[in-house]
Amino acid sequence: MNTYQTPTVAAIQMSSRNDVAGNLAQANDLLRDAAARGAQLAVLPENFALMGAKETDKLSVAEPDGAGRGHTPIQEFLAEAAARYSLWIVGGTIPIASNEPDRVYPACCVYDSTGARVARYDKIHLFDVGVPDSAEAYRESATFVPGDNPPIVIDSPFGRLGLSICYDLRFPELYRRLAADGAETIVAPSAFTHTTGLAHWHVLARARAIENLVTIIAPNQAGHHASGRQTFGHSLIVDAWGSVQAEAGSDTAEVITARIDRARQTAIRDGFPCLSHRRLT
């Protein structure tokens, strides 16, 4: 496996609708743009293939895990796009069928530059909340099965890559586990609401980067969706010192890119070794 010391990575911001075919077409255009700008790794947002008018809309497009051709259009799209653009792709989340008819897994699947799937992470923490000082309330567990997988870190040409999804950002113990397993970069494909994003998005993404000395790649959904939900946008790439390397706007689909300086990250970790100073585990 070739190793990149200063890879270019992309966070892809989308404003996904209740239209899988249209969303995949948009994702393809954005992935092509990312590749044309020199990206070797591109990360799509949570729910990139569908932001339905109703939470149950995802059930009708749920796919069996890795089934034969013609049965998994979203998974096939990701594999084919990765091979077409010679690009590692983190596929945000897609609905993978479970053994429950009314719930699916929120699965983040990773494809290498040949189109081979190399990892799947099912979102552990589900967004079951009432937003303070707001009428907004969400209950992801009504249509999602939480993942029971361990934290996942994989080898890649860009170093050790850790997987997380959206609401996971609020659980630092997960990120500490990923860092302890050697993660150098952690992805966080998201669909943060406008209300919670305005309050916490930048703080959470930067904090997870700072406390673990990792790069955070956090593509977000943006704008208004068919359900009436508004998402925050402002997709981020944050380096291991907590500096924002790239940031998207608030309401449009776009690609942001940055170069990860892995030598600088190693120097930061060597000179500021807080990960080795932990007294509580």
Distance between CA 277 and CA 214 in Å, rounded?
Answer: 16
From the candidates 46, 63, 140, 184, which is the catalytic residue?
46
The 3-state secondary structure of 36-49 reads HCCCCEEECCCCCC
pLDDT digits (tens, 9 = 90+) for 204-219: 999 999 999 999 999 9
From the candidates 58, 166, 184, 247, which is the catalytic residue?
166
pLDDT digits (tens, 9 = 90+) for 142-164: 999 999 999 999 999 999 999 99
Instruction: Report CA-CA distances (Å) from 62 to 48, 103, 125, 143.
Output: 13, 9, 20, 11
- Which CATH number is associated with domain 8-272? 3.60.110.10
The residues spanned by each domain of the chain are 8-272
CA-wise closest residue to 149 among 166, 169, 125, 171: 125
Active site residue 123: yes
- The beta strand positions in the chain, using DSSP E, are 8-13, 41-43, 88-90, 94-97, 104-111, 117-122, 128-130, 137-139, 153-156, 159-163, 185-187, 215-218, 222-224, 230-232, 236-238, 244-247, 254-259
pLDDT digits (tens, 9 = 90+) for 67-91: 667 789 999 999 999 999 999 999 9
From the candidates 123, 140, 184, 247, which is the catalytic residue?
123
Of 68-72, 153-157, 192-196, 220-224, least confident by mean pLDDT is 68-72
pLDDT band at 3 (very low <50, low <70, confident <90, very high): confident
Q: Would the pTM count as exceeding 0.95? A: yes
Distance between CA 249 and CA 216 in Å, rounded?
Answer: 18
- Those residues whose C-beta lies under 8 Å from the C-beta of residue 135, and which sit 6 or more positions away, are none
